[in-house]
Chains A and B, each alone.
Chain A
Amino acid sequence: MSLFTQPIGLTHYLVVGAILFAAGVVCMVTKRNAIGVLMGIELVLNGANLNFVAFANPALRADPGRAVAWMDGHMIALFVIVLAAAEAAVALAIVLSFYHNHASVDVDEADELKG
């Protein structure tokens, strides 16, 4: 049973979500540019969001009876979208302030505090 021969189901969505999550984590860990790291964080958040929405879709669930569950998923996804915007605003402001002081957005430049 290969994923490619099956009709689109919950698993397919979860696989895409997991790929987004993994790509985001790799991006966070390997990028030296602060903006790149922030993009990785956005990918992780959206991978999680895709999971929420997929789990919340009654057509994809084996037990569509749990009405509460799918309201939860959609609601969380909406809140996370708003929150990701707020987080990006704050993080970009901080990156800008870092740039003013260091003339660079390379996270490797942030090495004065250690020990």
Chain B
Amino acid sequence: MNFHLLLRSALDDTLGPTLAAFRPELALCATIVALLVVRMFLPRWRLGPPCVAAVGVIVALVLAAPWHYLSSVGMDRAVPIFTGMLTFDTFSVFLRSLLLLFVLLFVMFTQCSGVPREESATEFYVLVLGATVGMCLMVSANHMLVVFLGMEMASLPSYVLAGMMRHERRASEAALKYAVYGAGTAGVMLYGISLLVGALGSAHLPTMAGALADALAAGPLGDRAVVLMLGSLMIAVGLAFKLSAVPFHFWAPDVFEGATAEVAAFLSVASKAAALGLLVRLVVGLGGVADPAGLEALAPVRHYLGILIASLAAVTCTFGNLAAYGQTNLKRLLAYSTIAHAGYMMMPVAAMAFLMGRDPAGARAAAAAVVFYVSIYLFMNLGAFAVVAFVRNATGSEQIDHLAGLIRRSTGLAVCFAVMLFSLVGLPPLAGFAGKFAAFAAVYDAGLISLLVIGLVNTVLSLFYYLRVVKVMALAPESEEHPAAEIPLGSTPGVFCLALTVPLVVWGIWWNGLFTWAQAAAALLVP
């Protein structure tokens, strides 16, 4: 192939399907530039940064067009874009739109709560949008380079966001811990990728799966199996860090406590959703190929990945719930709850790995359960962190004990918070129940009964520490020196919390619409 032909084919690929599919990310990049330009020319426009960010995200959301792609006429096959670096399918459309929706809600949230301060607003939104671009790459990764680059693009701005309050001792400590652990695990992951890429002779996920299937079909792997296992374990280190899965969870409580509640919400929802999307991509990418003989040959790979993810999920879930008991700080409690939820959300991924070869429909249902749970988790966790931020603004405290009397002073907000917490437990008739039900149903379908039992026991365990918060809010006597926050439901923060609570109640009863979209998101994923 000569240079001219190479250039022509690259140009055709870029101008054809690629640019059309990549428009949301391009819109985000344009918004970042616009934010910086606005700061340069209109430095005194107070509402400038949030307005520009919100408009940019809305444009990106319109360009992502989930209502078109996820409808029955939307898409019939996955399209590889950028010569196979990314894959554009309903799964990436769904998760991308979810991330963009989250960022839109997040911009509103930061405007309600008044963090970031005016002078650092531009930097704050630039970092948030930059991280979002990285996350969008993560959920559509089809190549090991994009896997690594996407993760780093999402991580680097997050390190800075954690230390945004740079005059606070605890914020700089949180940022240091996050950056050091994050960069270290990313380095280990890169080394793992180099082993895997070297052993399989390619960094393109489908090509890697093909090479793996050929090697497995030809006979036992011998020494290569050790290299492959080592490489995949090292990649698991990096992913476990992003997912805050045990034993790489220790940064989460510290960072959440040291950073502002707003940043903690961003890390706990967006970063988790993207990491989960990437995990699904890697499992599907390495564990599945299109032709049936190869799919059969890859069974040991799927088994290995399934066992690895299932054991990580079980340990993460149990540890998160047990460690949440002794907490007195609300953000720390929510951090451990985030860890536990990462465990719950990894369970259907493990189920998908086990189901992929033998029951494609079941595997699709498991993938649908993952994205369904993530979309519900977005609302309940963002809501919980929003309440923490608003209470902090009113009283200056993030202690659980200082919530005492909230039910009397701001009844509506306390009820909203209780609904969010009950939804996090997974009590019917709230949306959290629907999410957990779908996830556990997938685990049951895969025949992972012990994992199912661990999940159910954990759900019961988690009830108590969430209930403790509700109990303090509703029953504990209000102390003299720490009066509860007074936030009427009619104020802007109150309306924001209510807007996040309503979907939880509505989806708890009518979850068919959302679940249909989740099924559409998973439809093209599993071969």
Closest CB in chain B relative to A27 CB, distance in Å: 10
Query: A77-110 CB contact bits vs B (8 Å, 1 = yes)?
Result: 0011001001100110111011011100001001
> Does A97 lie within 8 Å of B194, measured CB to CB?
no
Contact of A94 among B176, B188, B202, B329 (CB under 8 A): B176
> Does B159 lie within 8 Å of A76, measured CB to CB?
no
At the interface with chain A, which of B177-185, B303-311, B415-423, B494-502? B177-185
Q: Is B169 in contact with chain A by the CB < 8 A criterion? A: yes
Closest CB in chain B relative to A38 CB, distance in Å: 7
Query: B133-177 CB contact bits vs A (8 Å, 1 = yes)?
Result: 000000000011100110010001001100100111110111111
> Does A68 lie within 8 Å of B183, measured CB to CB?
no
In Å, the complex CA distance between A100 and B203 comes to: 42
Residues of B contacting A115 with CB < 8 Å?
Answer: 253, 326-327, 329, 332
Contact of B191 among A28, A44, A79, A112 (CB under 8 A): A44
Closest CB in chain B relative to A95 CB, distance in Å: 7
Q: Is A23 in contact with chain B by the CB < 8 A criterion? A: no
In Å, the complex CA distance between A44 and B168 comes to: 31
> Does A66 lie within 8 Å of B201, measured CB to CB?
yes
Closest CB in chain A relative to B26 CB, distance in Å: 20
Contact of A51 among B148, B168, B177, B194 (CB under 8 A): B194
Closest CB in chain A relative to B85 CB, distance in Å: 10
Residues of A contacting B258 with CB < 8 Å?
Answer: 113
In Å, the complex CA distance between A63 and B202 comes to: 12
Query: A39-62 CB contact bits vs B (8 Å, 1 = yes)?
Result: 011001101110110110000000
Q: Which of B434-465 contact A (CB under 8 A)?
A: none
> Does B179 lie within 8 Å of A79, measured CB to CB?
no
In Å, the complex CA distance between A115 and B322 comes to: 13
> Does A95 lie within 8 Å of B191, measured CB to CB?
no
Closest CB in chain A relative to B185 CB, distance in Å: 10
In Å, the complex CA distance between A97 and B183 comes to: 17
In Å, the complex CA distance between A40 and B149 comes to: 20
> Does A110 lie within 8 Å of B173, measured CB to CB?
yes
> Does B187 lie within 8 Å of A44, measured CB to CB?
yes
Q: Is B257 in contact with chain A by the CB < 8 A criterion? A: yes
> Does A38 lie within 8 Å of B169, measured CB to CB?
no
In Å, the complex CA distance between A87 and B155 comes to: 10
In Å, the complex CA distance between A75 and B170 comes to: 39
Main secondary structure of the interface of A (DSSP, over half): helix
Q: Which of B204-222 contact A (CB under 8 A)?
A: 204, 207
> Does A75 lie within 8 Å of B180, measured CB to CB?
no
Q: Is A16 in contact with chain B by the CB < 8 A criterion? A: no
Q: Which residue of B lies closest to A47 (CB)?
A: B191
> Does A52 lie within 8 Å of B173, measured CB to CB?
no
Given A75-B145, A76-B144, A113-B258, the answer on whether A90 and B187 have CB atoms closer than 8 Å is: no
**B contacts with A, residue count (CB < 8 A):** 48
> Does B172 lie within 8 Å of A94, measured CB to CB?
yes
> Does A44 lie within 8 Å of B177, measured CB to CB?
no
In Å, the complex CA distance between A48 and B183 comes to: 14
> Does A68 lie within 8 Å of B202, measured CB to CB?
yes
> Does B169 lie within 8 Å of A72, measured CB to CB?
no
> Does B191 lie within 8 Å of A21, measured CB to CB?
yes
> Does A91 lie within 8 Å of B183, measured CB to CB?
yes
Given A72-B202, A76-B145, A113-B174, the answer on whether A83 and B163 have CB atoms closer than 8 Å is: no
Most A C-beta atoms less than 10 A away, residue of B168, B187, B191, B203: B187
In Å, the complex CA distance between A19 and B173 comes to: 31
In Å, the complex CA distance between A21 and B179 comes to: 19
Residues of B contacting A114 with CB < 8 Å?
Answer: 254
> Does A102 lie within 8 Å of B191, measured CB to CB?
no
In Å, the complex CA distance between A17 and B156 comes to: 25
> Does A113 lie within 8 Å of B254, measured CB to CB?
yes
Closest CB in chain B relative to A77 CB, distance in Å: 9
In Å, the complex CA distance between A100 and B169 comes to: 9
Contact of A48 among B169, B184, B190, B207 (CB under 8 A): B190
> Does A80 lie within 8 Å of B190, measured CB to CB?
yes
Q: Is B428 in contact with chain A by the CB < 8 A criterion? A: no
Q: Is B59 in contact with chain A by the CB < 8 A criterion? A: no
Given A41-B183, A94-B179, the answer on whether A51 and B173 have CB atoms closer than 8 Å is: no
Residues of B contacting A44 with CB < 8 Å?
Answer: 184, 187-188, 190-191
Contact of B202 among A48, A52, A69, A75 (CB under 8 A): A69
6 contacts between A and B (CB under 8 A): A51-B198, A68-B207, A76-B194, A80-B148, A94-B160, A110-B173
Interface residues of B (CB under 8 A from A): 143-145, 148-149, 152, 156, 159-160, 163, 166-170, 172-177, 179-180, 183-184, 186-188, 190-191, 193-195, 197-198, 201-204, 207, 253-254, 257-258, 326-327, 329, 332
Interface residues of A (CB under 8 A from B): 14, 17, 21, 24-25, 28, 34, 37-38, 40-41, 44-45, 47-49, 51-52, 54-55, 63, 66, 68-69, 72-73, 75-76, 79-80, 83, 86-87, 90-91, 93-95, 97-98, 100-102, 107, 110, 112-115
Give 3 nearest A-B pairs by CB, closest first.
A44-B187, A55-B198, A51-B194
Given contacts A97-B166, A113-B257, 18 further A-B pairs with CB under 8 A are: A48-B190, A49-B194, A52-B197, A68-B207, A86-B152, A87-B152, A91-B180, A91-B183, A93-B160, A95-B176, A97-B172, A98-B176, A101-B166, A101-B167, A110-B177, A113-B253, A113-B254, A113-B258
